[in-house]
Amino acid sequence: MSLVQGIDGKLYGTTNTGGASNYGTVFAINLRGGLTTLHSFSNTDGSNPGAGLAMVADGTLYGTTFSGGTYGVGTVFQITQSGDLTSLYSFSGSDGLPVSPLVLGFNGMFYGTTAVGGSSGDHGTIFQISPGGTLTTLHSFSGQDGADPQAGLVQAANGELFGTASEDGQNRAGTAFSIRPSGTFQELFAFDNTDGNTPIGGLIQGTDGNLYGTTEYGGTSYGTVFQITAAGTAVVLYTFSGGADGGNPTGTLVQATDGNFYGTTQSGGTSTIVCPGGCGTIFKITSSGALTTLYDFDNTHGAYPAGGLVQHTDGNLYGTTSSGGLGDGTVFRLSTGLSSFVKTVPTFGLARATIAILGYGLTGVTSVTFNGTPAAFTLESPTAIRATVPSGATTGTVQVVADGATLSSNVAFVVLGG
């Protein structure tokens, strides 16, 4: 589970279990580690969320649970940052069982995957759900084109959605695919074990336009980092050894503001006595495949990080471990010296749309521009600006001048209809 940064600068996430009824929670933490449980699932409103949250411009969060709800097989919910939860949809089984987080599409719909269900052999689905809770199954996996998708989708700059199916495919090692919001599906790549097997984590689109991801197994059995180029060529960037360099990555990568990719491995590292096979690692990898191990979990400070990392606008990386610490996992920060920046929520919009710009310690803001076009804005707090996409703006970097310093967005803002 990856964390998401809220309008208030806190990090929001879910826990699989625990809470008042032990059905899991939605939580927020501030950057000093103060934990607030926003909601404890009751089972009737969902239980055991297995994925992170998606946020829209007003700060409302959307997520999934993989059990509970009306039929006991999962829900889609929304929750405000003050903790008011609304169940939007209860899965019934044939329409799936959601494991993935949601992603907000250009059209205002959310998209996600289910690990099982569908009309083609219970191999899982890709679905669209409206903010009001109307669900449409866009694709049912057949097995031949993949099965058991466990990761969320990523929306590329052209509006196309990309994802992974963790199993099956022609080589029975998982697939990568694209799907348009209209439902047009295309398998991009079938893993064959030598290049990776079981892509549990999702894909991200790098600033170079290429897709990047990880597989849990394959390579030499301990997983890989791969790149799929815009031309559709798959390249293995790194093969984990399962030793000191880590093994079995299951989280989605994040591209930080230095252009490098950061991720976690569930196993490997040097703490092999306390954790058989190692407690896992945090790594950095360049787009050309040079990997550096940044942190080696030792159980005391967490173990088995299963999710990906998020770069907060303070510049630091944040993540979770599924075990270790006092026994039930941790939330951690890794500082690699990167500077503060800004990110937009969402990363796209029409001219005259109001969006949020997240920052850190924002004061004295004198200018907001969208690819050079000045925008009207209001500084709401030290962590958020409310800005209007200016008419005539084009796709590109959003820049904020605060106290004389220029902060740039981590990804290009896509102006729709431009």
In a 3-state reduction of DSSP, which class is residue 27?
strand
List the interface residues with another protein, window 211-270 (CB under 8 A): 220, 222, 228, 231-245, 250
Span near another protein by CB under 8 A; candidates 14-22, 81-89, 205-213, 367-375:
14-22
List the interface residues with another protein, window 284-313 (CB under 8 A): 285, 288-296, 301-302, 304, 306-307
Nearer to another protein, 244 or 401 (CB): 244
CB of 213 to another protein, least distance (A): 15
Q: How many other C-beta atoms lie within 10 A of the C-beta of residue 318?
A: 22
Nearer to another protein, 176 or 402 (CB): 176
Tell me the C-alpha distance between 416 and 218, whole Å: 39
Tell me the C-alpha distance between 180 and 142, whole Å: 18
Shortest CA distance to 320 belongs to which of 305, 310, 335? 305
Q: DSSP readout, 243-264? A: STT-B---SPPEE-TTS-EEEE
List the interface residues with another protein, window 100-139 (CB under 8 A): 115-116, 122-124
In a 3-state reduction of DSSP, which class is residue 114?
strand
- Give the tokens for residue 118: 């569908």
List the interface residues with another protein, window 321-350 (CB under 8 A): 321-323, 325-337
Please identify which residue in 56, 188, 351, 401 interacts with another protein, judged by CB under 8 A.
Answer: 188
Report if residue 43 touches another protein, rule: CB under 8 A: no
List the interface residues with another protein, window 370-409 (CB under 8 A): none
Report if residue 279 touches another protein, rule: CB under 8 A: no
Nearer to another protein, 185 or 395 (CB): 185
Q: Is 364 exposed, middle or buried (0-12, 13-18, 19+ CB in 10 A)?
A: exposed
Q: Write the CA distances from 308 to 1, 13, 19, 106, 252, integer angstroms.
A: 7, 12, 23, 24, 5
Nearer to another protein, 251 or 349 (CB): 251
Report if residue 182 touches another protein, rule: CB under 8 A: no
Number of residues engaging another protein in binding (CB under 8 A): 101
Shortest CA distance to 385 belongs to which of 364, 414, 415, 404? 364
List the interface residues with another protein, window 55-84 (CB under 8 A): 66
Report if residue 85 touches another protein, rule: CB under 8 A: no
CB of 386 to another protein, least distance (A): 28
Q: In what order do the strands lie in the sheet with 103-104?
A: 103-104, 110-114, 125-129, 135-140
Span near another protein by CB under 8 A; candidates 166-174, 348-356, 358-366, 406-414:
166-174
Nearer to another protein, 11 or 358 (CB): 11
- Give the tokens for residue 145: 């084109």
Shortest CA distance to 253 belongs to which of 230, 282, 222? 282
Nearer to another protein, 105 or 251 (CB): 251
Report if residue 156 touches another protein, rule: CB under 8 A: no
